[in-house]
Structure formats: C-alpha cells, structure tokens
Amino acid sequence: MRKSVWLLDADMTLFDFEKAERFALRGACARFGVEISARENEMYHEINEALWRRLERGETTQGALQVERFVTFTRALGLALDARALAAAFVRELGEGCYLLPQALSLLQNLHRRCRVAIVTNGITAVQKRRLQLSGLSPYVDALVISEEEGVAKPDPRLLERALERLGCAEKAEAAMVGDSLTSDMAAAARAGLDGVWYNPKGRARPADAPPIAAEIRQLHDLMRYV
C-alpha cells in the first residue's frame, strides 16, 4: 500500500486532546471559582465521550453537544453555574491547549515533502484553528476540514470526500485516512471507499465488528513505510 494523499485525524492522532481537555476543564471551572478533582475530571470525560458517540450516530448536533455536556456535568455536581457560559470558557481554554503527540510534527514535515496532507476533524472550529496556529503544523497542512464548518461529522464519508476535493484528489486509491478511532475515523474511511490506517499506540484489541482497516500503526512514524 503506497499513498500520495493523506487525511489525518486531529485529536489523539496529532494532538493530545485528553491532556488539553483536563487543563481546559480546570481552567474554565476556575473562572467560576470551582476547583475540579481528578474524579470530577473523569466524570466530565465520560459525559463528553458519550455525547460524541451520539454525534457520530447523528443523534445530536455539535452546537448542542457543546452546551449539553456542561448542563449534564453541572447538574451531576450540583453546581448552580451557567452551563452556556462555562461551555464558552471551556472552548477558549481548549484552544490554548496545544499539546502535540510524539512524532506529530516530524511526521507532517516528512509527509508534506512527498504527499498532499489534510487534517479532517470532528472538532470545534475555533479550537482546531487556534491549535493549528500554535502547533507549528500549519506549513505542512494543505487543507483543514472541520465538521462544525461542514455540517457533517465523521463517520459521515462526506467529510473525507470534501477533503479529497480540496486536495485535488480524484482517485480514491491514492488516498488513505489515519486516525485513532475505529467508530469515527476508520468507519468514515470504509464508507468513503478509502483505505484506513488505524493509529493504535496502546495496542488495543480490534473488535470483531470493527470497520475494516488496511493497516495498523503503533507509532506515527510507522506511516512513512506507506509513502
């Protein structure tokens, strides 16, 4: 498998979203005089993950998700806070949380010398654009496709197809999607008729009912064997 066009997920593929999330939640709550414990951070993470799975299934919208997660979180903690204001504070904090995963920058530098590269993400527009600006990745990214701007989210294949259009790629055989999520990234690749490369740094077992993949990598630099 050799590819000249690469679509890459952002969160937990290039960026350490879990770290950014922890700091953003702590910072946003601190603005309202609330200190967050590790247990409460985990509670928020579980609420957020459940809502993102609903988004993938088309059961909610990204705009609703951004507020609903804080409605649920503040109710669970018994906090009398404005969930909408807390959500806005969280997004501001999250945009400043630019933590690249190991090998992310060098991978894109190497890929961009020989290939066309797009980041395809279900993230929030303001957050993703700010983090890309801070990260140093921008010179090595030919297109940034964000679900909030496009009105569709992975695993909807249209998000990947729009990325291919912006990269001028008419042949799907030339392209592959790289990401850490089987239900989002790999499912979108399968539905779009693209090869999927599963980034699986922790060596998780792949469920029997998971979408098909063309390859699995444990380190980002492993991707270069397919260029």
* Catalytic site positions: 9
> In DSSP terms, which residues pair with 11 in a beta bridge?
15
Q: Helix 62-77 vs helix 38-56: angle between axes, to the nearest 10 degrees?
A: 150
Tokens coding 100: 């690249």
- Determine the 3-state secondary structure of 92 from DSSP: helix
Return the half-sphere exposure (C-beta side, CA atoms, 13 A cut-off) of residue 215: 19
DSSP tag of 175: E
**Residue of 166, 173, 216 lying closest to 193 (CA atoms):** 173
The whole-angstrom separation of Cα 55 and Cα 78 is 26
The whole-angstrom separation of Cα 32 and Cα 54 is 28
CA angle 101, 147, 165 (to 5 degrees): 95
The verdict on whether omega for the bond into residue 139 sits within 30 degrees of 0, i.e. cis, is: no
